[in-house]
Amino acid sequence: MVAASGIAPPRAAAVSTCARARAGNRPGFLRSPPVSAAAKASAAAQLRCCASAVDDSVVSPAAPRPRLPRVVGMGSKLIGSGSATPSLCISNDDLSKFVETSDEWIAARTGIRNRRVLSGGETLGGLSVQAAQRALEMAQVRPEDVDLVLFCTSTPDDLFGGAGRVLAEVGCTNAFGFDITAACSGFIVGLITATRFIKGGGIKNVLVVGADALSQYVDWTDRGTCILFGDAAGAVLVQSCNADEDGLLGFCVQSDGHGQKHLHCSSSNADSILSKTNGVPGFPPKKTNFSCIEMNGKEVFRFAVRCVPQSIEKALEEAGLPASSIDWLLLHQANQRIIDAAANRLSIPSEKVISNLANYGNTSAASIPLALDEAVRGGKVKTGDIIAASGFGAGLTWGSAIVKWG
């Protein structure tokens, strides 16, 4: 690939498959071993590439900061977090008024007691902007110093994506942005992607936003799904650092499309908007709408309790760490029974498990950064703490990252 300047940028470090370590497992991706400090020092002068040669004044009248040469091979660290939730809270008792359920029934099976839902003039983009701003404030990074915005969502306000709107409203005038769609695994995928852009692309600051509004795709008459989901946004600021200070210690991401049938929100076709088609069969294409979320709860549960601990174990193996080194276990907040089962498999005591599921329900790509932000601001997670984070969901997709905070 050639940059706008005509100079080919250095390639990112190659990735290897999880299948190498364990025969018979489905393939996933693990990162290559970190670059040593000596190797980095000897090659520093060569590991530089030019940014775009396009005059910034042609693109933006604001005359942004001069672009500096990019240094690749850097590590990454998480230095700020933020989150935002809608104002409307729907309790289990509220749901029992229009579906056949109860607070006891829901709490016993899921651990959920409340969830937040968009209402009035609230939008997912608005929540995302708030979360991003709070992450930047904690990190003490100016919006104009952000190089990349990754918007992890399956429910953007605009079908064509929401990253551009979010970065514009936050004021990230020098940033490029794009959406990542991986459902409940989205934030983990975005976090890992951010570190790869820093390592292979030589950028400094990446804003990773996880946000979803699944309430818009829920059948509120189906007690099997409407009890689960809520809306929220969370964000982290990932910043480059010396390779020997890398805060991403290990990761593993995997997919199995055969499981899509167990959890999906498929498109459906309405009647054609034209009555005259000049005799052409099948034209024009019918207008597309999305159906409500459909889930086989038993199969998703089996998948999660089997694959999530395995994924964390693979990431720990890559990091060269035992499970006992984990300070905090932070899983996608889908079901308390899944969280408890994974903790038991990894022999992690309950006091080291981060969970806010009871208050917000399953917020998809927002669940991990939302819970992380609350733990950081609440004084649980401190600088230097090692966190085992794992996301899993539709696709089916799942992934884990072993990260050090701060």
C-alpha–C-alpha distance, residues 357 and 378, integer Å: 16
Query: Among 206, 196, 198, 200, which residue's Cα sits nearest to residue 175?
Result: 206
C-alpha–C-alpha distance, residues 3 and 1, integer Å: 7
Q: Which residues contact 38 (CB under 8 A, 6 or more apart)?
A: none
362 is catalytic: yes
Q: Residue 268 has which token pair? A: 């459906």
Identify the residue whose tokens are 């990446």: 206
184 is catalytic: yes
Contact present, 354 and 375 (Cβ < 8 Å) = yes
> What one-character-per-residue DSSP string does 184-234 give?
GGHHHHHHHHHHHHHHHH---EEEEEEEEEGGGG--TT-TTTTTTB-EEEE
Report DSSP state, residue 94: H
Q: Which residues contact 9 (CB under 8 A, 6 or more apart)?
A: 1, 3, 49, 70, 72, 200, 201, 202
Active-site residue, selected from the candidate residues 18, 226, 307, 332:
332
Query: Among 210, 241, 247, which residue's Cα sits nearest to residue 132?
Result: 210
Q: Residue 109 has which token pair? A: 């099976």
Q: What angle do CA 42, 44, 47 make, to 5 degrees?
A: 125
- Say how many C-beta atoms besides its own lie within 10 A of residue 54's C-beta: 11
Q: Order the strands of the 75-84 sheet from edge to edge.
A: 75-84, 231-241, 205-213, 148-152, 176-180
Bond prior to 284 in cis (omega within 30° of 0): yes
Active-site residue, selected from the candidate residues 92, 174, 359, 362:
362
C-alpha–C-alpha distance, residues 324 and 131, integer Å: 32
Q: Residue 10 has which token pair? A: 């250095």
226 is catalytic: no
User: Hey, which residues are catalytic here?
Assistant: 184, 332, 362
